[in-house]
Amino acid sequence: MFLFMSRPVGTPSNSIRAVRDRLGDDFVDKLDELHLNALRTGLVSTGDLQEAYRKARDINSNQNRLNLLWLLGIIFFIMIATPVFYETISFLLGVRCFLPNNHLVWEATRPISDCEFCKGVSAPLILHNLTREEFARFAYSSRPIIVKKGVAHWPAQRYLNYSFIKQLYDSVPDSMETVCQFQHFNSNLKSLRDVFSMPPSRANLSEGVPWFVGWSVCQSQILAELRKLYPRPHFLPVDAEMPNTDFILMGYEQGAVMHLDYIPRLMWQAQLQGNKSWILSPAPECDHQCQSFFFYVEPGDAVLVDTRIWYHANTMPRGQFSLSVQSEYG
């Protein structure tokens, strides 16, 4: 169109030569012919064509500006509407986070794995209860490890159960209101108060649907009482740093779905009651080099997994109560 309007017929210039080189002589000749035919009709002049070109250019320019405004408007709407939408849904459902722990955001922003951690790994390393010195060379491995019967001597193995934990929370004022982190997974229990106000028949699953929850124990009084029943795993390095919170996981059947943990250290988990199945998978970008695998642990076993790089999910045998204590080291 620019050529059609601006080129004086029969007076080729350097710029027209450049246009010919770029578009090809045939194409330019056809535009010339069209231009001359239009002028021969007497209905249009070069001025008319220039005016038509100018209007078309302005319309395109305005259209582009309009498209840009629409795009900015849509982005602004999404930025404002999305959090309002999730807050509203969270409020209506009575949960703190409609997207628990922002897993979608974490997944979208996690670094791409180099897959070195999972190459050739198709099962956990199974160690039998061992000393700190014997464990030292495995302590910071990315290979999943089971220490069979590694926590079987803990008093928690005998005394820690749903009733004990309920009584403990009942005995400390406001303890259920100050839970740092609560995960209800697939259950309809939205808070620790819901967990400990279940009728006994629901709590022991003689009635109702299965439930599974996990929460962070960060109240010092509760934590101190619980830790009277379990020490730190004796095989972990003496200088390993551990957080001042533990995580309790308990319930039936469907545990956590496949996810990564966004925690600063390696994870250990002590299986105190019931059997638990673990499914570990590499990051999706490692599917062609690594494989998923499955294992289960029994009461008294300790599991050590770098849950920051291994996707993991858990299930429990039908009708069997599972209780675990989890923390970090590093």
Contact window for Fe ion (CB under 5 A) among 14-22, 152-160, 276-284, 302-310: 302-310
Contact window for Fe ion (CB under 5 A) among 137-145, 259-267, 270-278, 313-321: 259-267
Q: Do 279 and 257 touch, CB atoms closer than 8 A?
A: no
- Count of residues in the chain: 330
CB of 261 to Fe ion, least distance (A): 4
Interstrand relation of 276-281 and 311-315 (parallel, antiparallel or unpaired): antiparallel
Contact window for Fe ion (CB under 5 A) among 6-14, 87-95, 214-222, 300-308: 300-308
Q: Of 253 and 261, which has the nearer Cβ to Fe ion?
A: 261
Q: Of 5 and 303, which has the nearer Cβ to Fe ion?
A: 303
Rounded Cα gap, residues 45 and 65, in angstroms: 30
Q: Do 219 and 280 touch, CB atoms closer than 8 A?
A: no
261 binds Fe ion, rule: CB under 5 A: yes
Q: Of 129 and 322, which has the nearer Cβ to Fe ion?
A: 322
Name the residue with tokens 């695998």.
293
CB of 292 to Fe ion, least distance (A): 16
Q: Of 135 and 247, which has the nearer Cβ to Fe ion?
A: 247
Contact window for Fe ion (CB under 5 A) among 38-46, 115-123, 303-311, 322-330: 303-311
Contact window for Fe ion (CB under 5 A) among 38-46, 64-72, 244-252, 299-307: 299-307
Q: Is 55 helix (H, G, I), strand (E, B) or coil?
A: helix
Q: Of 273 and 307, which has the nearer Cβ to Fe ion?
A: 307
Rounded Cα gap, residues 42 and 65, in angstroms: 36
Q: Do 281 and 311 touch, CB atoms closer than 8 A?
A: yes
306 binds Fe ion, rule: CB under 5 A: no
Interstrand relation of 145-148 and 302-305 (parallel, antiparallel or unpaired): antiparallel
Give residues 307-326 in contact with Fe ion (rule: CB under 5 A). 307
CB of 312 to Fe ion, least distance (A): 6
Q: Which two tokens stand for residue 121?
A: 């790994």
Other beta carbons within 10 Å of 208 = 13
The residue number whose beta carbon is nearest to Fe ion equals 261
The secondary element (H helix, E strand) that includes residue 70 is helix 46-93
> Position 309: which residue type?
I
Binding mask 208-247 for Fe ion (x = CB under 5 A): ----------------------------------------
Q: Which of 160, 166, 171, 176 has the alpha carbon at shortest distance from 200?
A: 166
Binding site for Fe ion (CB under 5 A): 261, 307
